[in-house]
Chains A and B, each alone.
Chain A
Amino acid sequence: MHERLSFHIKRDSVIHKLNPLTKLTLILALILISFTSPWYWTPHVVLLLAVIPLSGLGRVFPEFFKAATRLILPAAGFLFLMQAFFQPIGEEVIFKFYFLDITQESLMFAFRNAMRVFVMISAFTLFLLTTHPSELMSDLTRRGLPGQFAYVIISTLQILPQMQAKAQTIIAAQRSRGLDTESTFLKRAGSVLPLVGPLVFGSLVEVEERAIAIEARGFTSKNSKTSLHEIPDPSFEKTIRWALLMLVILSIAANLWLS
Chain B
Amino acid sequence: MKIEIQDLRFIYPTGLEALKGISLTIEAGEQVAIVGQNGAGKTTLVRHFNGLLQPASGSVLIGDWDVKKYSVAKLASRVGYVFQNPDEQLFSRDVLTEVTFGPKNLKYAKEKIDELVKRALSLTELTDKTETNPYDLSPTWRKMVALASIIAMDTPIVIFDEPTTGQDAVNVARIANVIAELRKEGKTVITITHDIDFCAENFERVIALSKGQVLLDGPAREILGQEEILAQTYVDPPQLTRLGKRLGLKETVRNQEEFLNSL
Binding site for B on A (CB under 8 A): 1-2, 166, 169-170, 172-182, 193-198, 201-202, 205
| Pairs A–B under 8 Å by Cβ, sample size 28 | A2-B13, A2-B14, A169-B85, A170-B88, A172-B72, A173-B81, A175-B52, A176-B52, A176-B72, A176-B76, A176-B80, A177-B101, A177-B102, A177-B105, A177-B150, A177-B153, A178-B105, A178-B153, A179-B101, A181-B73, A182-B73, A193-B91, A194-B101, A196-B91, A198-B88, A198-B90, A201-B87, A202-B88
A179 to B107, CA, bound (A): 11
Chain B, interface SS category: loop
The smallest C-beta distance from A156 to any residue of chain B, in angstroms, reads 23
A87 to B149, CA, bound (A): 61
Asked if A198 and B87 sit within 8 Å, CB to CB, the answer is yes
Given contacts A166-B88, A198-B91, contact A179 B105 (CB under 8 A): yes
The smallest C-beta distance from A105 to any residue of chain B, in angstroms, reads 50
**Tally of chain B residues near chain A (CB < 8 A):** 29
A253 to B79, CA, bound (A): 72
Given contacts A169-B83, A178-B102, contact A198 B72 (CB under 8 A): no
A70 to B76, CA, bound (A): 38
Partner of A176, one of B83, B90, B91: B83
Binding site for A on B (CB under 8 A): 12-14, 47, 50, 52, 71-73, 76-77, 79-81, 83, 85, 87-91, 101-102, 105-106, 135, 149-150, 153
Residue of A nearest to B159 (CB): A176
Which residues of B sit under 8 angstroms from A194, Cβ to Cβ? 91, 101
The smallest C-beta distance from A192 to any residue of chain B, in angstroms, reads 10
The smallest C-beta distance from B97 to any residue of chain A, in angstroms, reads 11
Partner of B72, one of A175, A197, A205: A175
The smallest C-beta distance from B10 to any residue of chain A, in angstroms, reads 12
Partner of A202, one of B80, B87, B102: B87
Asked if A178 and B91 sit within 8 Å, CB to CB, the answer is no
Q: List 12 additional contacts besides A169-B88, A197-B91; criterion CB under 8 Å.
A: A2-B13, A169-B85, A170-B88, A172-B47, A172-B72, A172-B83, A175-B72, A175-B73, A176-B80, A176-B81, A178-B76, A179-B101
